[in-house]
Amino acid sequence: MVFFNCDYNEGAHPAIMDLMMRTNMEQTGGYGIDPYCEKARSLIQAACGSDDLEVQFLVGGTQANLTVIAATLRPHQGVISADSGHVNVHETGAIEATGHKVIALPSQDGKLTAQQVLDCYTAHWEDGAHEHIAQPGMVYISNPTEIGTIYSKAELQALSEVCRKCGLPLYMDGARMGYGLAAKENDLDLKTITACCDVFYIGGTKQGALFGEALVIPNPAIAKDFRYMIKQRGGMLAKGRLLGIQFVGLFEDGLYFKLSEHAVGLAMKIREACKNKGYSFLVDSCTNQQFPILPNAVLEKLKEKYVFSMWGKVDEENSAVRFCTSWATKADDVEVLCADIAAL
């Protein structure tokens, strides 16, 4: 069986494993205060175009989300998110467990628009009973979104402008950041993201590392005492250097971007194969996740050789599924898959 069900089936890229092996018996300080975290921080600051950015490393995405949101909001505030946002649907109420409401706005494509945020903010403050309602306190987006779509530069800048006007810090979940930046349609880069967002993370777990997310915090008010927050939420890794080592591996020589391109390139082949066959898509994704709608009979056949995610019934005859590629996906496997799609 070949797995296309998600982008975290394998360990880490061999270059990263190699770096971990070579440094294994060195003695360093703990908790992210070590030369490797220092070096990774510098590499990420350079990639983001600013050498005094706060950068912290966390193990996973839900941990990053709940820590950032808890650190940013005052108790009576909630976080605005698309209704399909990871924090709203797939974190077992982790945000609420820190005391905050997720203010979910409807979205078809997984994205929030500047207008939506402005309307939500305005409606809150115009309501005479506003203190009886959770106050919008920040905005959560993901790029790419949970369904593979991406923000354009213009969209992100408009969103950022509204957020700043409303005093709402903007947070971008970048669990698959590289796969977004590698999309052909993409016109964003890390410098623009740094300029637009108050805090964001560059995902490692799904992008070539064993685990790890690099949190970048351009807004000093959020950065203040942030390490306390990491510790309190159980996110401070004793051997923090493991995170530093992996991000050194990813950001030295641009490995992160190369791996992202690899994954997206293969995803485009799957997209092409489905399109050629006349299949439509649940959502038009330009990144490493593809959501074709396939006849159930075809799916049954594909299941004999491949693992993929069932995403939802479309009608009696057809279902939407998700195929993921990743840094680890083999070109040969995709080629055979595409041939199988063409043949079925």
Of the candidate spans 127-135, 154-162, 188-196, 269-277, the one that interacts with a second copy by CB under 8 A turns out to be 127-135
Buried b (16+ CB within 10 A) or exposed e, 13-27: beebeebbeebeeee
Of the candidate spans 62-70, 111-119, 263-271, 289-297, the one that interacts with a second copy by CB under 8 A turns out to be 62-70
State the DSSP code for 259: H
Cα distances from 122 to residues 116, 125, 129, 267, in angstroms, run 10, 5, 13, 40
Query: From residue 128 to residue 147, what is the string marking binding to a second copy with x (rule CB under 8 A)?
Result: -x-xxxxx------------
Distance in Å, CB of 128 to a second copy, minimum: 9
- List binders of a second copy among 195-214 (CB under 8 A): 205-206, 210-211
Verify binding: residue 219, a second copy, rule CB under 8 A.
Answer: no
The only residue of 225, 304, 315, 332 in contact with a second copy, by rule CB under 8 A: 225
Candidates 218, 210, 187; CA nearest to 286 is 187
- List binders of a second copy among 148-187 (CB under 8 A): none
Query: From residue 86 to residue 115, what is the string marking binding to a second copy with x (rule CB under 8 A)?
Result: ---xxxxxx-xxxxxxx-------------
- List binders of a second copy among 67-86 (CB under 8 A): 67, 70-71, 74-78
Query: In this structure, what are the phi and psi dihedrals at residue 171, rounded to the nearest 5 degrees?
Result: -120, 130
Verify binding: residue 126, a second copy, rule CB under 8 A.
Answer: no
The three-class DSSP label of residue 93 is: coil
CA dist., res. 96 & res. 116, Å (int): 22
- List binders of a second copy among 241-300 (CB under 8 A): 242
Verify binding: residue 343, a second copy, rule CB under 8 A.
Answer: no
Verify binding: residue 120, a second copy, rule CB under 8 A.
Answer: no
- Tell me whether residue 156 or residue 243 sits nearer to a second copy (CB atom): 243
State the DSSP code for 3: E
- List binders of a second copy among 24-43 (CB under 8 A): 24-30
Candidates 117, 137, 139; CA nearest to 77 is 137
Q: Answer for the pair 329, 266: CB distance below 8 angstroms, yes or no.
A: yes
